[in-house]
Structure 1
C-alpha cells in the first residue's frame, strides 16, 4: 500500500507507463489555482445564497425546488470538502492531503457528483410525469424526500466500494487532485469503472433523454392548444430543468470522455494538461447551477426582490 502510494505521487516513476510522467509547470499550477479559487468562492457563495433563500422563504419549499436544493447542497459540499484541497494543492504545486486525504477527496467528489446527476434524472422523470398527466396533481413532498434520500443512498452504493477494495481512489491528472484510478489495468478495477459508467452516467443520461424527448414531443403536439397559467408555469419549470441538465452535461461529459480514454485508451494518451481542463470544467458546474435557478426560477427571483425591496414586490410573481 505504501509503495503504491509513493509511486502514485511521482509522475516520473517508470514502473507504470499508464500514469502521467510530468506535471504542470509552476505557472501552470498558479493558473489552475486562480480558476479553482474563482470556482471555490462563487460556487460556495452562490449555493449558500440558494440555501438561505430556501430556509427563509417557505414558498420555495415545493417538490421540484427540494430536488434543486439537494443539488445545491451537494455542490456546496464539493466546494467545502473537495475544491479547497485541490486549490491548496495547486498553490503548493503538489498534492498536500496525503493518502487518506486523497481517498477522502476522491470519495466525496464522486459521491456528490453522482447525487447531483441522480437528482437531475429524478427531476426529469418528475417533469415528465407531471406534464403528461391530464389532471393536475397535488404536490407530493413525501416522494420528493424519498427521491432526495434515494439519490444519496444510490451514490453511496457506487462510491463506497473503492474504499473497501473494489478499485481504489488515487492521484489523477497533474498530481493535485484525486479520483477513481481510471488507468488501472487490473480486471477488478476495470469492472468497477464499467459498472460506474453504466449505472452512474449512461442510465441516468438515458432516462433524461427519454423523458425530455417525450416531453418535447408532447409540447409540440399541444403547441396550438391554449394553455392556462398553471400549465405555462409548469412548462417554464421544465425549461429551467432542461437548461440545468444541459449545463451539467456540458460540464461533466468532457471529464467522462477523458476518464474513458485513460481507462481504455493507449497508455499515456491522456496528458496532465489535457486532463486538467475537463476537471476544472466539471468543478465549474457548482457555480453554474445556482445562477440558472436565480435567472430562470420566478419564485427565486421574487423572494430575492422581496428580501431587498419588501415594499415593491406585490403582484410580481
Structure 2
C-alpha cells in the first residue's frame, strides 16, 4: 500500500512539470517566443508560396522549363509550411510535442524530404541560370529536361530521407522538444555515418554547386562589362545583387542548422543548449519565406505578373515571353518570339563564345536605338 502511495506521489508532480516546463529546459516564455516566430513564418511562407502558385496558374507566359524549378521550390516550401511548421507551432503553444511517436517520424521524414528537395532544386537552378545566360540556345523550350530535373530532385531527396525509417539512423524530437528531425545526438555507428553522408551530399555539395556556377556567371558577366561599358554595367549589377542575395540567404538559413547538427553528433551530451538548437531550426524554416522573394518576386517577369494580379498595373501590359525576359532571376538570352539571335564566332580580341552570347542578349533587351555589334547578326527561325 505504501509502495503504491509513493508511486502516485512521485509521478503526479512529474506529469504536471512536463506540461509546464518540459525536459528540454526551455521556459514557458521561451516556448511562447518560438511560437510567435513560427506563426509569422507559417503565415508569410504560406502566403508567399500560394501567390507563386496562383501566378503560375494564371499567367501562361511564366510556364517555361526553367521556371518549373521555381514552381518545384514553391511546392516543396508550401508542403513544409503545411506539414511541418503547423505542428511545430501547435507544439510550441503547448510547450511539448503533441504528435506522438508516429507523428514525430512523419514530421522528421516529411520536413527533411521537402527541405532537401528545395536545396537540390536551388543547386540545379544555379546551373540552369549559368547555362541559360552563357550558352547560345540552339533549340526551343525543353520541358523534358526540366521535368527530369524536378523528378530527380524528389528521387534524390527520398534516397536520403527514407533510410531513417528503415533502420539507418532514426527520427526523433530535437531542440526544445517541439519538433522532430534526424536523431542527431545518437552516437551509434549507423547514426554517425548517416549524418555525415547527409551533411556532405545534402548540404555541402549543393553549396559548392551554387558557389561554382554563380561564381562563373559573375565572371562571365564581368568580362562582358569590360567590352560593353554601358549596356552590360546595369546587367552586371542586377546579376551581382541576385547572386549575392541568393548565396547569403542560403548560407544563413541552412549552414547554422548543419553545424549545430554536427556539434550535437560529435560533441559531448548536452553540449548544445535548447536555445542554440532552436534558433538554427527557425532559420531553416524561414527559407520558406525567403525563397519566393529572392527567386521569384525579384524576377521582373514574375513581378509584372504580380502587379497585374493585384490590379496595380493594367492587364494590357502583361509580360510577353519575347518582350519581357527576366533580367534578375532567369535571363533568357538570345530568344525572341519567332526570332533568335545567332552567335557567330569571329576573331574578336579576348571575347569567347559565351561572351558573344551575352552581347547578343544585350542587343535583344537593350534600347531600340542601340546598334548591334558588327559581328552579330539576326536570322529568322525556320518554320
Shorter-chain TM-score category? 0.7 to 0.9
Q: Is the 8 A contact 2:24 2:175 kept in 1?
A: no
Per the alignment, residue 314 of structure 2 pairs with: 311
Root mean square deviation of aligned Cα: 2.7
Q: What does the per-residue CA deviation read over 1:206-260, in whole Å, with 9 as the maximum and x for residues that have no partner?
A: 1111112222222222212339999x88995785465334312211111111111
Q: Is the 8 A contact 1:131 1:234 kept in 2?
A: no
Q: Is the 8 A contact 1:50 1:290 kept in 2?
A: yes
Per the alignment, residue 201 of structure 1 pairs with: 203
Match of 1:256 among 248, 252, 258: 258
Using the size of structure 2 for normalisation, the TM-score is 0.72
- More contact order relative to length (CA 8 Å, sep ≥ 6): 1
Q: For residues 284 and 311 of structure 1, what CA distance do their matches in structure 2 show?
A: 33
Q: Is the 8 A contact 2:59 2:305 kept in 1?
A: yes
Using the size of structure 1 for normalisation, the TM-score is 0.87
Match of 1:175 among 170, 174, 177: 177
Per the alignment, residue 34 of structure 2 pairs with: 32
| Higher gyration radius (CA) | 2
- State the secondary structure of the residue aligned to 2:155: helix
Matches within 5 A, 1:45-84: 45-84=47-86
Structure 1 gap segments, 5+ residues each: 1-9, 13-19
Per the alignment, residue 110 of structure 2 pairs with: 108
Change (3 A) 1:125 1:228: farther
Counting matched residue pairs gives 300
- State the secondary structure of the residue aligned to 2:225: coil
- Bigger CA drift: 294-303 or 127-136? 127-136
Structure 2 gap segments, 5+ residues each: 1-14, 325-383
Q: Is the 8 A contact 2:46 2:78 kept in 1?
A: yes
- State the secondary structure of the residue aligned to 1:223: helix
Q: For residues 229 and 146 of structure 1, what CA distance do their matches in structure 2 show?
A: 35
Q: For residues 312 and 158 of structure 1, what CA distance do their matches in structure 2 show?
A: 45
Q: What does the per-residue CA deviation read over 1:13-70, in whole Å, with 9 as the maximum and x for residues that have no partner?
A: xxxxxxx964211111111111111111111111001101101111111122211111
